[in-house]
Amino acid sequence: MRPNYVGPCPLAKKCGGCQLQNMEYERQLRFKQGKVQSLLGKYGKVKPILGMEYPYHYRNKVQAAFGVNRRREIISGVYQSSTHRIVPVDSCRTEDQTADAIIVTIRRLLKEFRLSAYDERAEKGFLRHVLVKRGFSTGQVMVVLVTSTPVFTAKYHFVKALLREHPEITTILQNVNPYFTSLVLGKQQKVLYGPGYIEDTLCGLVFRISAASFYQINPVQTEVLYGKAMELAGLTGKERVIDAYCGIGTIGLTASRHAREVIGVEVNGDAVRDAIANAKRNGIRNARFYTGDAGEFMSAMAEEGERANVVFMDPPRAGSDRKFLESLIKLSPEKVVYISCNPETQARDLAFLTAKGYRVREIQPVDMFPWTEHVETVVLMSKVKE
């Protein structure tokens, strides 16, 4: 039973992060179903969207920007949509409540320890961002303090004070980002407490999550999404599988239990290291992970006469580029399971693939981000037999 709609968030107009705050949840699902239907319906029947039972506080990763207001008071929150203006936030309906509480505590501790927040206009100050990741299954919590300088006055006393108020925190890191950039994390990092990573359980597997690695933001719906992807792939234990854009190996390792062999490819070296560690952590021996461009990797496989039965692809919002899609055609797998967070770019890519000998067999929308306009879709394609 879904909770009753309580009206739009009071910060909805200022923040702009949740575009569908004016809609009750069932209406949001109908809106997203219609969006997918209009974009992908020409390729086949769109199945009913899979929504959440409890569409609140689903974000396991919370990022807060720190700054000062006109009265020189420390504020923290989110950037207003398409700006670098901070909208102060203490709690958010989509964010993990533990993470929100930790960020509020850090804001207060800054004042107590006489530490400053970063002022973008003046380009000075200490704390720029706080990143909190929480394993919903394990309860493990990572806090990343993103600072403009490696100099951290009384850091161990600060860490001790933070842990006293939030003993649920299992690791704390300091990340240094001195540059004027839209990127949150810098390259220099130091562990202040704990192992420097957290673990979470997803689809029955344990995953190691570092500060920089990508992990799906809504773990509840990720299990729904990946379960559907595995169902569509129809693995029997005999297949050779490619996990393109593999990240920390969530899809590939989930597939490894039902396939003969899994090969994961990802450009982010940190994520690949996590994927290799995750395979070892779960005792999985039939999955290998490589750092590199997935398209180039598949082209090289095809040129060497190598084959793959199934390719899972989960590209970023911009979709796949022509080079990747051409390499996919070259490798010519029997099935392609295309997971997308942007049905508009997915529609573009499906047009290319269907013109090159593939047919869409099933389209399943999944609501990963309630209250926002975003919708995830998983599409099964198979090679048309000549």
**Residue 66 sits in which domain range?**
61-196
Marked catalytic residue, from 15, 18, 203, 341: 341
Confidence label for 48 from pLDDT (cuts 50, 70 and 90): very high
Across 176-183, average pLDDT: 84
Please state whether beta strands 310-313 and 240-244 pair in parallel, antiparallel, or not at all (unpaired): parallel
* 147 and 73 in a common domain: yes
* Tens of pLDDT, residues 192-203: 999 999 999 999
* 87 and 19 in a common domain: no
Residue 385's pLDDT is what?
Answer: 76
How is 313-374 classified by DSSP, letter by letter? E---TT---HHHHHHHHHH--SEEEEEES-HHHHHHHHHHHHTTTEEEEEEEEE--STTSS-
The CATH number of whichever domain residue 291 belongs to comes to: 3.40.50.150
Is residue 97 domain-resident? yes
Residue 319's pLDDT is what?
Answer: 80
Across 296-325, average pLDDT: 91
Q: pLDDT averaged over the chain?
A: 93
Minimal CA–CA distance to 57: which of 6, 105, 97, 9? 97
* 280 and 160 in a common domain: no
Please give the single-letter amino acid code of residue 165: E
The answer to whether 170 touches 186, Cβ cutoff 8 Å, is: no
* 173 and 281 in a common domain: no
* Tens of pLDDT, residues 227-261: 999 999 999 999 999 999 998 999 999 999 999 99
* Crossing angle of the two packed helices 97-112 and 155-165, in degrees rounded to 10: 140
* 273 and 132 in a common domain: no
* Res 27 pLDDT > 90: yes
Give the least confident one: 3-7, 170-174, 257-261, 349-353: 3-7
Sorted by sequence, the CB contacts under 8 Å of residue 346 that are 6+ apart come out as 39, 40, 319, 338, 340, 377, 379
* 292 and 252 in a common domain: yes
* Res 352 pLDDT > 70: yes
Residue 386's pLDDT is what?
Answer: 62
Please give the single-letter amino acid code of residue 266: E
End-to-end CA distance of the chain: 48
Residue 318's pLDDT is what?
Answer: 82
341 catalytic? Reply is yes
* 65 and 38 in a common domain: no
* 164 and 18 in a common domain: no
User: Which of 162, 196, 230 marks a domain boundary?
Assistant: 196
**CA 78, CA 75: separation in Å to the nearest integer?**
10
Sorted by sequence, the CB contacts under 8 Å of residue 271 that are 6+ apart come out as 212, 213, 214, 246, 247, 248
Residue 344 in tokens: 């508009």
* Tens of pLDDT, residues 116-165: 999 888 889 999 999 999 999 999 999 999 999 999 989 999 999 999 99
What's the domain count of the chain? 2
* Res 366 pLDDT > 80: yes
Confidence label for 2 from pLDDT (cuts 50, 70 and 90): confident
